[in-house]
Each structure stands twice: as C-alpha cells, then as structure tokens.
Chain A
C-alpha cells in the first residue's frame, strides 16, 4: 500500500517515474538529459516535477553533495494497483461514477452459494442439451 492516497499524475510526472523505474535512481540533471531535453523542457520544470513527486511520496531523495538523488518509493505495478483500488473504493461507496463498464461488477460480489447454484444450473442445462454424455 502507498503511504498516501495516490493523486492524478500528469504525463511528465509519469515519464519521470518511468525513467526512474528503469535507472533506479537519478538527479535532476540526469532526468533532464533523458526526459527533458527531447521534450524541450527546462531543468527547472524537471526539478519542480521531481519535487511534486517527492511530495506525493512517490519518490525518495537523499542529498549527495549539492544536489538531491531521487529514487522511486513505489514500483510501477504497485502504483497501478493503487490506482485501480482507488476506483473500486469510490465505486463501492456508490458515491461516484467513473464512466466505465466492467465485465463483472467491479464492486459487488456474488456469494459462494449463489455461484455454486449457478454452476449446477449450467451443468444441468449442458446435460439436458447433450443427453448422450449423461450415460
């Protein structure tokens, strides 16, 4: 579990995280060289993005010489899982609508006995359809 409720991530924030998930750690200059230069983004923007991610508790940092060295405090899968959990949690309260449709209801579960009964009904129907298989 993440220490705080995950907030919405921007495209640049995600790109920075993707970079740090691969390199494991990096300082603002290193991130700027890989992510910022190709996008025409200044070092200051990268620094404030790193600061925001740190405040969201998605990055750790330690001071090395005169600059901060950042590393991810969550892994990719953990972040996505938290995103999904946030949505299920909102839906389960019935308070919100995320404009989605799910193959099986996201936030409501059928109990085991109902599922057993449904399986029996399906098996029964299958047997009725193919009487030869019964014998």
Chain B
C-alpha cells in the first residue's frame, strides 16, 4: 500500500479530530453567545450563524493543513527538514509520509467516518433531485405573471413559496392571490424576493451540508436560529419596502390564520415548530441597526491567522505525539 495512503489516513483522522474539538467548544460556548446574537440585526445574525455552522469542518481542514506546513516549507526549501532530529515517532510529513496503520480500530474509524460522509452526500443528492423535480413540476403547472415577476399556480391550496437553489422563483397560488389585498401581496412579494436576493435556500443548503461535524442537538438549534434570522431579515426588507412594520406583522398573522384554516389531508407537524411568534414580536420592536463590523472581522481574521502560523510547529508536534500514542 502506498505510504501516501498513511498520510491520507492521518490527515482524515486529524481533520475529524480538530472538527470534533471545535464542535465541543462550540457546544459549550453557543448558549452564552446566543443571547448577544439575538440583539443583532437579522441579516448580520444569519451571516454569523452560517459561519458558525461551517466552523468545525473549516477549522478541521485548516488545522490539518497547518499540521503539514513545516514539511511543506521544507519541501519548498524554506526551512531545513527536521524529521531526522525526531526519528522516534510518527511523521506528519509530506517528505517522509507515515506508513498506514493497519489495525482494526483505525480501519473501523475510517469506515465509520467514510460512511457518515457517504450517507450525508446521498441524502443531499436525493434532496437535490427531489427539489429539481418539484421545481420542474411547479414550472410546468404554473403560469408566469410578468407584472409581479411571479409564477401563479392554479391550485386550491394556499401557497407562497420560493423554490430553486441559486436562481429562485416565486410561486403563489391563484387562491391566495384572490384573497390577499394588493398591499398584502406586496408584503409577500417583497419577502419572497428578499429570499431570492439573499440566496437563502443556497445558504440553508450549504449550512446544512457542511455542518455535519457539529454535535446533532447544537446543529439543529443553529439551523433553526439561522432559518429564523433569514425569515426576519426578509421581514425587515418587506417592512422597509412597505414602510409599515405593523402592516407586515399583521399580514404574517393574517396568512398564518388562513393556513390554519386550510384543511390538509394529514396532520402537519414540524420538528422545528412555527416561528411566527418570534417574527411578529421582532417586528413590534424598533429595528436593530446593522453595525458594519468588517474592520472587526478583518482584525479577528488577521489575529487568528498570525496565531495559527505562530503555533504551526507546536500544532504539528502535538498532533504527531498524539498519533504516536494512539498507534503505539
């Protein structure tokens, strides 16, 4: 077996190890940070939550790459190869790749991790195929309304949705259009068009797919919080467009009442529950100001980058030592 397989084996295990550590820290810290996040403007909150969702996978990958940095610099001839100095343990090195570990535990770990990735990829591929068919069926059964740039679905159900991953289209049922006043329809359109501009479905897809390393209970909370932030961000856009926050709140309650009266041929219960209360209550308050924090983000990013490069050697040796202990 190629010795580069050993490198892949350790790289994969190291990535998941770092990701798992980040997920645990995240689980401990999020309840404390959540209280501060709630007061931020929804658009800003949704961005931060997306980054939070991606953090374990991103940090896992980043730290693993950093572990390889000393040997990468040696490969480029920037620094001297140090492997000969430490020949008593396993090397996380591109020049002297470690031999693959051929024991039951490491194989079991790799099979489990590989299985998780395959299952996630399979589920999302299936979801994408279903979404594509649903989108196609809706397109075929609806008529384009060029005045509002929407697709009107001739259906006895009440319906107001945006479908599509990158290019979203708004579908509204004819029955809902007949019931809503022109101003209420403006609220719905402004809200749905905001989803389309913000690429919220893509945001949800990326967040859901790449958050696999989070602890499941925290992942559910983060996704629910991000979805709520996206809805509130679109409510804010509608409120600005109509220039009446209370009217938007009224419209949400009005449409929720209509949906409650709609007879569905089965019990409709969602695991996340309805977020109407939070959305309406947020519209009753003054809008939270969007505080541009680009300088803070750049500063934090720069500090993290410098700290990461400064700790490259330590990270590299500690990881080697841990793997050395595990494979002894």
Contacts and interface: CB of A to CB of B under 8 A. Distances in A.
Interaction A to B: yes
Interface of A: 1, 8-9, 11, 14, 76-77, 79-81, 83-85, 87-92, 94, 96-110, 112, 114-115, 118-119, 121-122, 125-126, 129
B281 to A, nearest CB: 7
A81 B154 CA distance: 9
Interface in B115-146: 127-128, 130-131, 133-138, 140-141
Most buried by B among A81, A85, A102, A106: A102
Nearest to A13: B140
B280 A109 contact: no
Contact of A92 (B230, B249, B270, B276): B270
Given A121-B280, A126-B246, A102 B266 contact: no
B21 interface: no
Give the secondary structure class of A's interface: helix
Contacts, number: 158
Most buried by B among A76, A104, A114: A104
6 contacts: A88-B264, A97-B205, A100-B134, A108-B270, A115-B256, A118-B276
A114 B268 contact: no
A81 B156 contact: yes
A118 to B, nearest CB: 5
Interface stretch (B49-57, B158-166, B300-308): B158-166
B289 interface: no
A110 B274 contact: yes
Contacts of B135: 99
Contact of A14 (B141, B205, B250, B264): B141
Contact of A106 (B127, B161, B208): B161
Given A76-B154, A97-B205, A125-B246, 17 more contacts: A8-B136, A11-B140, A77-B155, A77-B156, A84-B155, A94-B271, A97-B131, A97-B204, A99-B201, A99-B204, A101-B162, A101-B192, A101-B230, A105-B270, A106-B161, A115-B260, A118-B277
B255 A114 contact: no
A81 B264 CA distance: 10
B197 to A, nearest CB: 12
Contact of B260 (A83, A87, A107, A110): A110
Contact of A118 (B159, B200, B249, B269): B249
B219 interface: no
A79 B153 CA distance: 11
Contacts of A87: 134
Contacts of B249: 118, 122
B276 A107 contact: no
A120 to B, nearest CB: 10
B284 interface: yes
A109 B160 contact: no
Contacts of B162: 100-102
B274 A109 contact: yes
A100 B131 CA distance: 8
A125 B192 CA distance: 26
A96 B275 CA distance: 19
- CB-CB nearest 9 A-B residue pairs: A108-B270, A99-B131, A103-B160, A94-B271, A108-B274, A8-B133, A110-B274, A80-B155, A110-B276
B328 interface: no
B259 interface: yes
Contacts of A104: 160, 252, 255-256, 259, 274, 276
A87 B249 CA distance: 26
A108 B272 contact: yes
B137 A9 contact: yes
A30 B128 CA distance: 37
Interface string B93-107: 000000000000000
Given A77-B155, A103-B188, A122-B253, A98 B266 contact: no
A85 to B, nearest CB: 6
B252 A99 contact: no
Given A115-B256, A115-B260, A98 B131 contact: yes
